[in-house]
Structure 1
Amino acid sequence: MPPPNIILYDVPSATPEAWAPNIWRIRFVLNYKRLPYRTVWVECNDVERTLRSVGAPPASIGRDGRPVYALPAILVPQRPSEPPIVLSTANVIVEYLEMAFPARPIFPDGSKALQMVFIHYLNDVVLKPLLAIMIPLSHMRLPEHVQAHFRGSTTSGMPGYLAPGPQRERAWLAVKEKFDFLATLLDKNNGADGDGLVAMGRELSYADFAICSVLLWIERVSPHDGWTRMRQWSNGRWIRLWDRCKDHMDVL
């Protein structure tokens, strides 16, 4: 049987444009595996109602004990007599897609644990200084009527907008230091075992899509500041990785 037409739920900016990095991870995997899907746009203030209506599990439990609903989420149709499979959170979705549709794997044999550690490091260390810049910029690109909801949905409070000046320059320098260190780690793949560009040495994998999702976030939300800077970092490594992944950047 052909694979089902999957629904990917995504949050638009002021125009229906894919920008959210956690959702781009899923879109990359769907595109790479050549799975048929369609995007359903859900504004931030409508995420909980929409996900509850399709039976999606909460992404987490808040400090008050209430379920927290968040994107990404997917709906995978089953046979007419069976309910659809509905999943949320990026890593859960990706692991399901790899198990259910093993062709064109994103976790080469024996690499899942190491890639998940890599993703954890990327989220908790490399991206930490980037959030102070990108979260306020992302908020500004949302439709006006959902901006208040976005502010309330950030678990640690939304940082203030960094205007051009010394403070923003220091923030970007901190980001550059993290990405430069990441580049030195990936460079260890240079030589007989790989080309030094992608995390697994030669073939694209989930780790590369996680990085490129962040590159897309910066390019979409901060094209004239952040992306202009980042294209020059690490001897152009990040634009080369972008080019390696661009065949999988379709939005269906």
Structure 2
Amino acid sequence: MGNEYINVADIDFIVRLPFANMSDDSTITFYDIPAKNGLPWSPNTWKIRYALNYKRIPYKVVWVEYPDIKGEMEKLSIQPTDTYPDGSPGPCYTLPAVYDPTTKRGISDSVLIARYLDDTYPDRPMLFPPETRTLQAPWSDVLTWPFLAPMFQFLMPATTWLMNPPSEKVLRAKMPIPMEEVYPSGEKKVVEWQKVEKGFAKMEKWFEKEDMFICGKTVTFADFALGAYLMWTKVVLGSDSTEWKDVASWNNGRWGKFLQSLEKYEKL
């Protein structure tokens, strides 16, 4: 499969075009997780999709279902990212991952991949401008509390319903109750959605009002981390959903405008 150039301003379609005159011998392979609607959805892999496009590095996509990730990574000698979150023994293999045939290196974990891309391709736009690596690195985790914690009950079921059967089975196994019971309904949905809005309001206070991006006027990897979570929301809940329209409009439309500002990095 050739590179994907994705315009998700109206996220109802996907256009696939190959890089012109690019040999597979030097093209990075980018590993992503597929969905039934054919759209990239994973917030972690979106971070690297943004990063590769921002740095204008040619890549090709290989789609890997959840149960196949471990075997695919082991074949390439790509290291696991952690132990299992539930504390069970054994290495945990996750995506995103990339394999660079030029250096014959495979890397997983979005922050490590982003650092590798800057170190290996310093002549391209930098994801981590000088002296910002320590500042930017925690952003994916920082987002968990104001954003992901209250949003999890909405996004995980919606993600599961988009997955192909092999990956859907894995996601369902992670929850002690059916995903259909995880997703709030009725009055509970109203209350829980208000918590999501409060989380975004808290996050909005981190920004200077005149600055679009986290480090000011210049886009960085931290912005791609935030954009990736917004993209996850937009894809799995639907661009025409009331929920996404809410998110895009909150805080004087900051989040909708923020994601629009990254559209140029959805494709080259």
- Interval of TM-score (by shorter of Structure 1 and Structure 2): 0.7 to 0.9
Task: Pick closer, same or farther for the CA change 1:201–1:157 going to 2, 3 Å.
Answer: farther
Q: Tell me what 1:218 maps to.
A: 233
2:120 is equivalent to residue 100 of structure 1 = yes
2:38 is equivalent to residue 16 of structure 1 = yes
Letter in 2 for 1:120: D
Is contact 1:16-1:41 (8 Å) kept?
A: no
Residue 173 of structure 1: how far off its partner (Å): 1.3
2:230 is equivalent to residue 209 of structure 1 = no
Is contact 2:66-2:166 (8 Å) kept?
A: no
Is contact 2:28-2:100 (8 Å) kept?
A: yes
Q: Tell me what 2:99 maps to.
A: 75
2:86 is equivalent to residue 86 of structure 1 = no
Instruction: Name the SS of the counterpart of 1:40 in structure 2.
Output: strand
Is contact 1:76-1:85 (8 Å) kept?
A: yes
Q: After superposition, give the CA deviation of every residue in 1:83-130 in whole Å (9 maximum; x if it has no partner).
A: x21111111111111211122112122211111233331134432111
Residue 163 of structure 1: how far off its partner (Å): 4.5
Letter in 2 for 1:91: V
Q: Tell me what 1:130 maps to.
A: 151
In the alignment, the residues of structure 2 paired with residue 28 and residue 158 of structure 1 have an alpha-carbon distance, to the nearest angstrom, of: 33
In the alignment, the residues of structure 1 paired with residue 211 and residue 185 of structure 2 have an alpha-carbon distance, to the nearest angstrom, of: 34
Q: Tell me what 2:202 maps to.
A: 181
Instruction: Name the SS of the counterpart of 1:109 in structure 2.
Output: coil
Instruction: Name the SS of the counterpart of 2:60 in structure 1.
Output: strand
Q: Tell me what 1:46 maps to.
A: 68
Q: Using the aligned pairs only, state the percent identity.
A: 26
Letter in 2 for 1:151: R
Is contact 1:133-1:171 (8 Å) kept?
A: no
Q: Tell me what 2:248 maps to.
A: 231
Is contact 1:75-1:85 (8 Å) kept?
A: yes
In the alignment, the residues of structure 1 paired with residue 26 and residue 185 of structure 2 have an alpha-carbon distance, to the nearest angstrom, of: 47
Task: Pick closer, same or farther for the CA change 1:71–1:100 going to 2, 3 Å.
Answer: same
Name stretches of at least 5 consecutive residues in structure 2 with no aligned partner.
1-22
Residue 15 of structure 1: how far off its partner (Å): 3.4
Task: Pick closer, same or farther for the CA change 1:136–1:178 going to 2, 3 Å.
Answer: same
In the alignment, the residues of structure 1 paired with residue 139 and residue 34 of structure 2 have an alpha-carbon distance, to the nearest angstrom, of: 28
2:47 is equivalent to residue 25 of structure 1 = yes
Is contact 1:60-1:67 (8 Å) kept?
A: yes
Is contact 1:6-1:36 (8 Å) kept?
A: yes
Task: Pick closer, same or farther for the CA change 1:182–1:116 going to 2, 3 Å.
Answer: same
- 43-52 vs 21-30, which moves further: 43-52
Q: After superposition, give the CA deviation of every residue in 1:147-179 in whole Å (9 maximum; x if it has no partner).
A: 11222357x988643244221222221111111
- 164-173 vs 215-224, which moves further: 164-173
Is contact 1:135-1:158 (8 Å) kept?
A: no
> When the two structures are aligned, how many residues end up with a matched partner?
239
Is contact 2:65-2:166 (8 Å) kept?
A: no
In the alignment, the residues of structure 1 paired with residue 203 and residue 145 of structure 2 have an alpha-carbon distance, to the nearest angstrom, of: 13
Name stretches of at least 5 consecutive residues in structure 1 with no aligned partner.
none
Task: Pick closer, same or farther for the CA change 1:51–1:16 going to 2, 3 Å.
Answer: farther
Is contact 1:137-1:161 (8 Å) kept?
A: no
Tell me the TM-score normalized by structure 1. 0.87
Residue 242 of structure 1: how far off its partner (Å): 1.2
Superposition CA RMSD, Å: 2.2
